[in-house]
Amino acid sequence: MQSKFNINFPVYKAGKHGQTTLALPDRVYKIDLTVYLDIEKNPGPEMDVLAYSSNLPPKNVNLRAIHEGSINYLMSNQLLGFQPFYQLQRPCFGDVRHSQDDFEAYGVGRRVSSVYEIQRIPSVNITRRRQCIFQHRNNVGANLNNLVNITPTKNCPKTETSNLLHLAMLNARSLNNKAMFIKDYVVEHRVDCLAVTETWLNSNNVYLINELCPRGYAFMHIPRSIGYGGGVGLLYKKNYKTEKQNVAQYSSFEYMETLIRSPSTVLRIGIVYRPPPSAENGQTVNMFFDEFSDLLERLAVSSGKLVLLGDFNFHVDDLTNPQAARFLDLLDCYNLKQHITGATHKANHTLDLVTTRSCEDMIHSWSSMDPQLSDHKVIHTKLHLIKPRLPRQERQYRKLRSVDPAVFRNDVIKCALFTSEACNVVDLCDQYDSELLKVVDSHAPLKTCIVSSRPSAPWYTEDISKEKCKRRQLERRWRKSGLDMDKQQYYDQCKR
């Protein structure tokens, strides 16, 4: 690298971050320029630099030889020896005589430019903040090119889980005295299907089943064949195409299988209740694993998506329980995944389980609630299954609010009921119905519309609404404080 100004020594400029090379001599000047660059952020002076007692260059280097060009190469340790000398801006050649004050006040570049007429490189420091201020002042105001038209919509977007199948599960411990409570719970939480274990029903409980089902729901179940207790069932909406499967019954557990057909797929729901083995029922754990393996082997090759749920009475939360570990290993052998964690029973054990195939993404989310319907919690799951549309029904109505009472009263007085009264009671009743119906039709004619059938709760009164509000307040207080006193008050309110 050569200079066009015919100088015999290099010219440097002192800066905040180190030395800046402005010009080099005409002769070939081999030197590593990287030693003068500041490769760190404000590193500061080195300790070995401050240790020098003299500001002169090293004695083992002949500066005149470097100037005349007889020495074209310097070792790295010799080159680093110039560092304290150049940092103090001392003149290094004999034919250049300036004081240290001149170099510190004006810098090397300014002095050389006055002697050799070299144009000094100007440096302007403008901070980024000041540049942003100048740009912001030039762009004050709204850019009309960025404005777009927004079309308002009347309908609010549906939530993410609004179109998912809501499947719940409960070990009821008898439906005989809880039908109204479970019915209200299903309507309040908008449950699509409720799997029930331990129904304690028989084939003659038709009245109880009608009391259990809200409007638009149906219930199918399999009662225990021998003895009392037990039983499994499914409460579902009528708009679902549901079919109960005829499957073999097992002696160690109770089982019911149903198919729900949706526009997208077929869902196979298996409801299981395994009673604890005892001397009375004569069942053993090995009997359950043998029969349950046969069931899983059949379900492994069955069509449709699979959800297997129920009360298995295994403490799967206890990792040291050998029976629970064996049960989980059996599920894993058939590529099944168990989703429920945490306590589902008042004894703080996980007994109620929901199982799906590992390769099928069926469970969107799940949660558990304790409405004090039994000693088990209610397990809620949202399934990736498109719900069918609500059934449509034809309804008739009259706009009675548009009737003028004064005009209606005058038309009733003018009708044949008062002008030509019938002689006998039968004709008088017929005349009463026909004449008043004519007057009503003239003021509020009968109209027809198509509406969606939704579950209703005609028993829901204002007193029930107040009690439910109080129950929710006590539940929030208990969840927040965690005190046993608040928990007991919430439980007492649930039983009212």
**Mind listing the pLDDT tens digit for each residue in 156-215?**
555 456 788 999 999 999 998 889 889 989 988 999 999 999 999 988 888 999 999 988
At 36 the pLDDT is: 47
At 98 the pLDDT is: 44
**Following DSSP, what letter does each residue of 337-372 receive, concatenated?**
EE---S--BTTS---EEEEEETT---EEEEEEE--S
Residue 84 CB coordination number (10 Å)? 21
What the block records as the tokens of 423 is: 């002689």
At 334 the pLDDT is: 95
At 50 the pLDDT is: 44
Range of lowest pLDDT (123-137, 222-236, 244-258, 433-447): 123-137
* Percent of the chain residues topping a pLDDT of 70: 70
Interacting residues of 294 by C-beta distance below 8 A, sequence separation 6+: none
CA gap 193, 145 in Å, rounded: 53
At 41 the pLDDT is: 52
Please name which of 377, 445, 406 lies closest in space to residue 170, comparing C-alpha atoms: 377
**Mind listing the pLDDT tens digit for each residue in 133-169?**
555 555 556 677 777 777 776 665 554 567 889 999 9
Question: CATH for 160-386, among 3.40.50.12280, 3.60.10.10, 1.10.10.60, 3.40.50.620?
Answer: 3.60.10.10
Single pTM value for the model = 0.58
H or E element: which one contains 394? Answer: strand 392-397
Q: Which residue has the higher pLDDT, 88 or 267?
A: 267
**Contact indicator for 388, 237 with CB cutoff of 8 Å:** no
What the block records as the tokens of 407 is: 């005009």
Q: Where are the domains of the chain?
A: 160-386, 392-452, 462-495
Confidence check: pLDDT of 221 > 90 = yes
At 383 the pLDDT is: 93
CA gap 425, 280 in Å, rounded: 70
**Mind listing the pLDDT tens digit for each residue in 317-326?**
998 999 999 9
**Mind listing the pLDDT tens digit for each residue in 439-484?**
999 999 999 988 877 666 666 677 777 887 888 888 888 878 888 8
At 329 the pLDDT is: 96
Pairing between β-strand 11-15 and β-strand 352-357 as defined by DSSP bridges:
unpaired
Confidence check: pLDDT of 370 > 50 = yes
Confidence check: pLDDT of 60 > 70 = no
Question: For the purposes of burial, counting CB atoms within 10 Å of the CB of 402, is it exposed (0-12), middle (13-18) or buried (19 or more)?
Answer: exposed
Confidence check: pLDDT of 285 > 90 = yes
At 139 the pLDDT is: 58
**Mind listing the pLDDT tens digit for each residue in 105-141?**
444 444 444 444 445 555 555 555 555 555 555 555 6
Confidence check: pLDDT of 42 > 50 = yes
pLDDT band at 102 (very low <50, low <70, confident <90, very high): very low
At 477 the pLDDT is: 86
At 143 the pLDDT is: 73
At 485 the pLDDT is: 87
At 90 the pLDDT is: 43
CA gap 385, 408 in Å, rounded: 53
pLDDT band at 486 (very low <50, low <70, confident <90, very high): confident
At 256 the pLDDT is: 97
Query: What b-and-e string marks burial along 287-313, b requiring 16 or more CB atoms within 10 Å of the CB?
Result: ebeebbeebbeebeeeeebbbbbbbbb
pLDDT band at 423 (very low <50, low <70, confident <90, very high): confident
Confidence check: pLDDT of 104 > 50 = no
**Mind listing the pLDDT tens digit for each residue in 314-368?**
999 998 999 999 999 999 999 999 999 999 999 999 999 999 999 998 999 999 9
Instruction: Give the residue-averaged pLDDT of 372-396.
Output: 87
Confidence check: pLDDT of 384 > 50 = yes
Instruction: Give the residue-averaged pLDDT of 74-88.
Output: 54
Q: Which residue has the higher pLDDT, 102 or 444?
A: 444
What average pLDDT does the structure give for the chain? 78
Range of lowest pLDDT (386-390, 395-399, 471-475): 386-390
Between helices 462-481 and 484-494, what is the axis angle to 10°? Answer: 160
Instruction: Give the residue-averaged pLDDT of 5-31.
Output: 66
